[in-house]
C-alpha cells in the first residue's frame, strides 16, 4: 500500500478493499520502522491518527466520504494543530501546543484525511538544506546506498523526505523562496507552490508574510491537484487571502498540450547550471515538444537581482515577525532571569539557532533608521521590476520552464559554514516568490543517481494549467515512479 498514490489509495478505500484503520496502521508501522534513517518527523500522532481513521471509516459507511476520507498524510510542523505540538523546528517552540487549527489543518480534517504527524523542517522555515532544525538534520532517502548522507533540501525537507521514502503518500509544505520546489526536486517528488493568497496563511507560523505560501507535496501531479482542491480558497481570517472561485484542479489534468507555448528564460540556463543538469532539463522540455508544445526563448533581465532583493525583504519581515518570541507570552523562556532585559536577551539568544539569528540581525539592520531607504525600499523597487519581467514574459507564452536547482542534492555539512553558497541554491526559485506566482517542481531525470527537478512557472492563478502540464509529462515518463534503493 505504501507505494500507491493518494488517488489509488482513495479508490482502494472506496471499494472497501482496505479500511482506513488498516491503512493508517500500515503507514504508522512503516514510519516507526524506517524513519530512524531519515529523521523526517518531529512528532508522530499514533493514537490520534488511529482515532481519526476510525472516524473516517464511519464517514465512508455513512456515505459522507470525500476523495481524502481515510487517506493518511502529514503536516509540515509550521501549521498549527489543535492539541498537537507545533515546533517550527525550533527550541523556541519545542513545547508549544496550539489551542486552535490552522485553516489548512481545519480543511484536511473536514475532508476526513488522517494526519500521521508533523514533519521536520529548517528552523522557522529558514534554510535550503534542512540542517538548521533544533531536532536534527533530515537525510535525503536518495544516495543512502552510496554511503554518503545528502540533504533533502529545505525548508520543507521533512515533508519531501517522508514522501520520497514512502512513509506518507502526501504532505503539506510551505514556500517562501523555494521551500517546496527545491526539496521536491532534490527528493524526486512533485511539489506545488500556489499563487500568493490562494491558500490561507491563518495558523501558519510566519517567516516573511509577503512571501510565505502553503502548498502541496506528493509523488504525482494528480495527487497535488487533489491536495490543492482541499487547501485552496478564500479565508476571511487571513487578510492576504484572495476571494476568487476555486476550480476543480483534477478536471483539466487530461487536456492536450498541443499548441501550449513554453518560454525558456535564458537567464536560468546560465553558467550557474551544471551541464549535466541542463541536459536533463532540456530532455524533459523536448518531451513537451513531442506532445505538440511550442518552445521559445524569453528573457527575465532582472532575474540576477532576485537573491539580493530577497535577502533584504525576507529577513526584514522575519525580524518583525519573530519579535513576538520574547519569553513573555508563550514559547521558550530562559531560567531565572535577573530582570526584564535579561529575560528578553537570554531567551532569544538561547531559543533561536544561528541561521535565524543571522536573518534577524540582517533584517533589523535593513529596517533601522538611515538604512531603510537604502536597503528595504530599494529591494521593494527591484521586486516590482522582477514582477514586471514575468508580466511581460506571459504576454508571449503560457508557461515558463527552467531548472529548480543548480545541482543535485549536496552532501550534509557541505555548505553549512558558507551561508552565501547555501543562499545560491535558491537562485532559480526566489524570483517566483517575489512576483507572487505559482510554480511547481516535477521529477525530470537523474544526475549521478540523484533526482533532478523541472520547474514549471505560471501566471497568477494558473495552477490548473501547471498541474495539467505536469500530469501530461508524467503520463509520458516514469521519473516520478522511481524510488530510492
SS3 content of the chain, % helix, strand, coil (to 5): 45, 15, 45
Quote the distance between the C-alpha of residue 467 and its chain's center. 16
Q: Find, among 166, 189, 190, 139, the residue nearest to 74 by Cα.
A: 166
128 included as an active-site residue: no
Which of these is catalytic: 155, 156, 200, 319?
155
Which of these is catalytic: 76, 107, 118, 415?
76
- CATH topology (fold) of 1-485: Amidase signature (AS) enzymes (3.90.1300)
Q: Find, among 75, 240, 244, the residue nearest to 174 by Cα.
A: 75
What confidence score (pLDDT) does residue 147 get? 79
**Three-state DSSP state, 414:** coil
Which of these is catalytic: 132, 179, 200, 241?
179
What confidence score (pLDDT) does residue 148 get? 86
Over its C-alpha atoms, the chain yields an Rg (Å, rounded) of 21
Helices (H) and strands (E) in the chain, counts: 15, 11
155 included as an active-site residue: yes
User: Which cell goes with 251?
Assistant: 478536471
pLDDT tens-place values along the chain, 485 residues long: 999 999 999 999 999 999 999 999 999 999 999 999 999 999 999 999 999 999 999 999 999 999 999 999 999 999 999 999 999 999 999 999 999 999 999 999 999 999 999 999 999 999 999 999 999 999 999 988 777 899 999 999 999 999 999 999 999 999 999 999 999 999 999 999 999 999 999 999 999 999 999 999 999 999 999 999 999 999 999 999 999 999 999 999 999 999 999 999 999 998 889 899 999 999 999 999 999 999 999 999 999 999 999 999 999 999 999 999 999 999 999 999 999 999 999 999 999 999 999 999 999 999 998 899 999 999 999 999 999 999 999 999 999 999 999 999 999 999 988 988 999 999 999 999 999 999 999 999 999 999 999 999 999 999 999 999 999 999 999 999 999 98
What confidence score (pLDDT) does residue 475 get? 98
User: Which cell goes with 99?
Assistant: 489551542
What confidence score (pLDDT) does residue 145 get? 77
What confidence score (pLDDT) does residue 144 get? 87
156 included as an active-site residue: no
Question: Residues 288, 362: contact at Cβ < 8 Å?
Answer: no
Dihedral over Cα of 248, 254, 259, 260: its sign: positive
What confidence score (pLDDT) does residue 50 get? 98
- Alpha-carbon distances, residue 415 vs 61, 139, 423 (angstroms): 52, 15, 10
What confidence score (pLDDT) does residue 370 get? 86
State the CB neighbour count (10 A cutoff) for residue 8. 16
Q: How far apart are CA 155 and CA 181, in angstroms?
A: 10
* 170 DSSP β-pair partners: 218
What confidence score (pLDDT) does residue 485 get? 85
What confidence score (pLDDT) does residue 165 get? 97
Q: Strand 294-298 vs strand 439-447: parallel, antiparallel, or unpaired?
A: unpaired
Q: How far apart are CA 288 and CA 90, in angstroms?
A: 42
What confidence score (pLDDT) does residue 354 get? 95
DSSP assignment string, 276-297: HHHHHHHHHHHHHHHTT-EEEE
Amino acid at each position: 500500500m505504501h507505494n500507491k498514490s493518494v488517488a489509488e489509495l482513495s479508490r482502494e478505500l472506496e471499494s472497501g478493499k482496505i479500511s482506513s484503520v488498516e491503512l493508517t496502521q500500515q503507514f504508522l508501522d512503516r514510519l516507526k520502522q524506517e524513519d530512524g534513517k531519515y529523521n523526517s518527523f518531529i512528532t508522530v500522532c499514533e493514537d490520534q491518527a488511529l482515532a481519526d481513521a476510525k472516524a473516517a471509516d464511519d464517514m465512508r459507511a455513512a456515505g459522507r466520504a470525500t476523495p481524502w476520507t481515510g487517506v493518511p498524510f502529514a503536516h509540515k510542523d509550521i501549521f498549527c494543530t489543535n492539541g498537537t505540538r507545533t515546533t517550527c523546528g525550533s527550541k523556541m517552540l519545542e513545547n508549544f501546543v496550539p489551542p486552535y487549527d490552522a485553516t489548512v489543518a481545519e480543511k484536511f480534517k473536514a475532508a476526513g484525511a488522517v494526519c500521521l504527524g508533523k514533519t521536520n523542517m529548517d528552523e522557522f522555515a529558514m534554510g535550503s538544506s534542512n540542517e538548521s532544525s533544533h531536532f536534527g538534520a533530515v537525510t535525503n532517502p536518495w544516495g543512502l546506498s552510496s554511503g554518503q548522507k545528502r540533504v533533502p533540501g529545505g525548508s520543507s525537507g521533512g515533508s519531501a523526505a517522508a514522501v520520497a521514502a514512502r512513509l506518507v503518500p502526501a504532505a503539506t509544505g510551505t514556500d517562501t523562496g523555494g521551500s517546496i520546489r527545491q526539496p521536491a526536486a532534490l527528493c524526486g517528488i512533485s511539489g506545488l507552490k500556489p499563487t500568493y493568497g490562494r491558500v490561507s496563511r491563518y495558523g501558519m507560523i510566519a517567516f516573511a508574510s509577503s512571501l510565505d505560501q502553503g502548498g502541496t507535496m506528493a509523488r504525482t501531479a494528480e495527487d497535488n491537484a487533489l491536495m490543492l482542491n482541499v487547501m485552496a480558497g478564500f479565508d476571511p481570517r487571513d487578510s492576504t487571502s484572495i476571494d476568487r472561485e476555486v476550480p476543480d484542479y483534477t478536471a483539466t489534468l487530461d487536456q492536450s498540450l498541443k499548441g501550449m507555448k513554453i518560454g525558456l528564460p535564458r537567464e536560468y540556463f546560465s553558467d550557474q547550471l551544471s551541464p549535466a543538469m541542463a541536459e536533463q532539463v532540456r530532455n524533459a522540455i523536448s518531451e513537451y515538444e513531442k506532445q505538440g508544445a511550442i518552445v521559445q526563448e524569453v528573457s527575465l533581465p532582472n532575474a540576477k537581482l532576485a537573491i539580493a532583493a530577497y535577502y533584504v525583504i525576507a529577513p526584514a519581515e522575519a525580524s518583525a515577525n519573530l519579535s513576538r518570541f520574547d519569553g513573555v507570552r508563550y514559547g521558550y523562556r530562559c531560567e531565572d532571569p535577573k530582570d526584564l532585559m535579561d529575560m528578553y536577551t537570554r531567551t532569544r539568544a538561547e531559543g533561536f539557532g544561528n541561521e535565524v539569528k543571522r536573518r534577524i540581525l540582517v533584517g533589523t539592520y535593513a529596517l533601522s533608521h538611515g538604512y531603510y531607504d537604502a536597503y528595504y525600499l530599494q529591494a521593494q523597487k527591484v521586486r516590482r521590476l522582477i514582477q514586471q519581467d514575468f508580466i511581460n514574459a506571459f504576454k508571449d507564452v503560457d508557461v515558463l520552464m527552467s531548472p529548480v536547482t543548480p545541482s543535485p542534492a549536496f552532501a550534509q555539512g557541505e555548505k553549512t559554514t558558507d551561508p552565501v553558497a547555501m543562499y545560491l541554491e535558491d537562485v532559480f526559485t526566489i524570483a517566483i516568490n517575489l512576483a507572487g506566482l505559482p510554480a511547481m517542481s516535477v521529477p525530470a531525470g537523474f544526475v549521478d543517481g540523484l533526482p533532478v527537478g523541472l520547474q514549471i512557472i505560471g501566471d497568477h492563478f494558473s495552477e490548473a494549467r501547471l498541474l495539467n502540464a505536469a500530469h501530461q509529462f508524467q503520463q509520458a515518463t516514469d521519473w516520478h515512479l522511481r524510488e530510492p534503493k
